[in-house]
Amino acid sequence: EEQLVESGGDLVQPGRSLRLSCTASGFTFGDFAMSWVRQAPGKGLEWVGFIKSKAYGGTTDYAASVKGRFTISRDDSKSIAYLQMSSLKSEDTGLYYCTREPTVWGQGTMVTVSS
């Protein structure tokens, strides 16, 4: 079964950093681009960014709202994608999903940015 499991969500103060992990199983992780999507409480879905597979250069792209603050990386040997978040703001609060677009989604990990 193809599965994604996110971890690392926490309560953090504004301005601090946090790293989320997404562990994949059931498919050849290195063959796929991986994305992060977030959902503020009671709100819709917002694409955060993605990282292409190494075969496509492993390049990244980000939403304007997080560009320069968030970094996506991957470790294909461990089948893990990471979302490094820095200079966190209250508006970054939400449930963060890892996805293998468009089909496979994790259950999400909650990030709360508050003092």
Smallest gap from Cβ 19 to another protein, in A, equals: 21
Binding mask 41-80 for another protein (x = CB under 8 A): ---xxxx-xx----------xxxx----------------
Beta bridge partners of 41: none
Residue 102's contacts (CB-CB under 8 Å, 6 or more residues apart) are none
**Whether 36 contacts 97, CB under 8 Å:** yes
Smallest gap from Cβ 59 to another protein, in A, equals: 11
92-111 residues near another protein, rule: CB under 8 A: 97, 101-103, 105-108
Smallest gap from Cβ 12 to another protein, in A, equals: 23
15-44 residues near another protein, rule: CB under 8 A: 35, 37, 44
**Whether 12 contacts 115, CB under 8 Å:** no
Looking at the Cβ atoms of 13 and 57, the one nearer to another protein is 57
Looking at the Cβ atoms of 16 and 43, the one nearer to another protein is 43
Q: How far is CA 8 from the centre of its chain?
A: 10
CA-CA distance, 74 to 82, in Å (whole number)?
Answer: 6
- For residue 23, the number of C-alpha atoms closer than 13 Å in the C-beta half-sphere is 4
Task: Write out the residues near another protein by the rule CB under 8 A.
Answer: 35, 37, 44-47, 49-50, 61-64, 97, 101-103, 105-108
